[in-house]
A and B are shown apart, each in its own frame.
Chain A
Amino acid sequence: MPRSLMNAAVVFGDVAVAVKLHTATTSERVHFHEVHAKDGARIEHRRFCTEEDKEVPYEEVVRGHEIRDGEYAVLTPEQLAAATPDGDRTIRIEAFVPAADIDPILRDKAYHLGAGDDAGAAYRLLHDALVKTGRAGIAFFVFHDRERLAAVLPHDGVLVLQTLRPADTVVDLDELRPDEGKDAPRAPTAKERKMAGQLIDALHEPFRPEDHEDEHRALVMKLIEAKAAGEEIEVPEAEDVETPDDLAAALEASLADRGHGGRRRRAAPKAAAKPSGSGRRSPARAKRKTPAKTKTKKKQG
């Protein structure tokens, strides 16, 4: 287990449970540096004063919030520090709410909570009681100079702390909804609904996260290897797609397509070794004329 990010305590009423905060997620993405295309040298970011057109050392930089166009309210480091409390490493639960009522759209960054020193019994008790009640503790806590709302919930036998987005950051869907007005499109017919429903059923499968590999990560690594070997990389073109006018006919064809193809084959996790063109593609994907595989060719000379 990696080092904990913070030692803290979950407090509810008179009970304190010492916990260690760990990040629950990692980024496995291929990490790139910004480089100069010509010579591969690192790019440095330098601060320039737009007024004087000269480089500014970090000590001369202050933070300002734009109030009106081009007009800033400057905060001194002291004012900024006062507005961002250091916190007391306490995750003080204000209320226990039904965990299922928390809209997933609000769930943001997740952390694992490990048991702190001598906290095993209290940790287990809180975990089991949360499971039994189906509730999540709602708390404010300060992390990285910022106070955030968070939920403490049981998950897979451990306690998880997940920060929650403020409710007012969720976009009002009625503002996004296309204005139908008088010329609303014709409602889907019963036949279209039925066939679309059948297509959903035909594509239904249990969710197995291991079945979904980051193919892009693997392809990017391949590109890097090809480039390192001095190969030239061919850049593909995008293609256009059209919406069929006859939805019913397209659905019928889609269903027929699945009938002939049988159950779509799923790649085993070690699919990387297989020859290209086998298994992995769904019928919809296999229909595309151009293969999705990366083309490389040896550079001349």
Chain B
Amino acid sequence: MARPLWSGSVSFGLINVPVQLVGAVRDLDVHFRQLHEKDGAPIETRRFCAEEDREVGYDEIAHGYETDDGTMIVLTDEELEAAAPRRSRTIDIDAFVDAGEIDPLLLDHPYILLPAGETDGVRRAYRLLAEVIEASGRVALGRIVLRAKEQLVTVGARDGLLALTTMRFHDELRPAADVDTGGARRPSAAKLKAAVQAIEAMAADWDPGDYEDRHRVRLQAAVEGSDRVEQVDDEDAADGGGRAPKSTASPDIMKSLKASLEKARAS
């Protein structure tokens, strides 16, 4: 098993369940390292004090907050910890909410909580919590301190394990009302019907396994020197890509929808 990212406990009423946090998704990206072209040796990043022009060690580095007038306020790791004292090792469950009420856009990163410890008491408490949460259809709300930052989290159940998801705070989600939707009126019943038909003609079951990570595949192929790397037309590369197709004009939508429908049915 991967090394836990965090260990502590979930506090539910007066029950504390020691847990370890592991990622629910893993990084399968093709990673690159910077190398010196001349000798192929890896490049190493060294930290220098801009003032003294000398290399500094990790233990000499702190967090600087720049105020509006340009003053740098310096906080050490330990001082920052003071902002999250009691909770740093505990996920306090504050409340339970219906899982369906949570805006999915608030969900950030998924993790799994595993029981920490072999004792019967720990494993039983873990199992009880996972089972009752699963049966309730609810998720717990709590907070966790990860990398010196306190995050709001949901704790739910996934196949008998406790699943933790970090959340964004409400003010970290831009209001949908700010989005310019073009101000068009509701489409006519005929247009809506045609659009629904066009969508249904392209309907499929969702199987995420059908979609491979093409980016990863291409990079892997490039790394292996395979000829699977396609040369792309980079005519418009200078401005960061081609031009998007023009929007279908309102009077032409019906025609386009019908053409789409016929194509989808023919295929």
Report A163-200 residues with CB < 8 Å from chain B CB. Answer: 164-171, 173, 175-178, 183, 185-188, 192-193, 196-197, 199-200
Q: Establish whether residues B174 and A22, one from each chain, have CB atoms under 8 Å apart when the complex forms.
A: yes
Main secondary structure of the interface of B (DSSP, over half): mixed
* Measured CA separation A92–B138 after assembly (Å): 36
Given the interface pairs A40-B74, A214-B169, A253-B14, the reply to whether A101 lies near B205 with Cβ below 8 Å is yes
Chain A residues near B48: list those with CB within 8 A: 43-46
Report chain A residues within 8 Å CB of B243. 88-89
CA distance A235 to B150 in the complex (A): 17
Knowing A49-B41, A176-B114, A251-B13, say if A90 contacts B83 (CB, 8 Å): no
Measured CA separation A213–B152 after assembly (Å) = 9
- Contact status of A244 and B14, CB under 8 A, knowing A122-B250, A220-B80: yes
Residue of A nearest to B181 (CB): A115
Q: Is residue A271 contacting chain B, with contact meaning CB distance below 8 A?
A: no
CB <8 Å contact, B107 and A178: no
Question: Which residues of A24-54 are within 8 A (CB) of B?
Answer: 24-52
What residues of chain A lie closer than 8 Å to B104, measured between beta carbons?
104, 107, 162
Which residue of A15, A206, A216, A228 contacts B97 across the interface (Cβ within 8 Å)? A206
Chain A residue nearest to B128 in the complex (CB): A188
Which of A26, A168, A253 has the most chain B CB atoms closer than 10 A to its own CB? A168
Of B38, B182, B200, the residue contacting A123 (CB under 8 A) is B182
Residue contact A12 to B250, C-beta cutoff 8 Å: no
B206 touches A97 (CB 8 A): yes
Assembly CA distance A254 to B256 (angstroms): 62
Residues of A within 8 A of B176 (CB): 112, 155-158
Partner of B192, one of A93, A125, A138, A162: A125
What are the residues of chain A within 8 A of B195 when measuring CB–CB?
125-126, 128-129
What B residues does A63 contact at CB under 8 A? 32-35
Is the CB–CB distance between A13 and B250 below 8 Å? no
What CA separation (Å) do A39 and B53 show in the bound complex?
12
Contact status B25-A165, CB under 8 Å: yes
Check B86 against A65 for contact (C-beta < 8 Å): no
Known: A33-B63, A56-B43, A241-B89. Contact between A192 and B128, CB under 8 A?
A: yes
Known: A62-B35, A120-B183. A89 touches B222 (CB 8 A): no
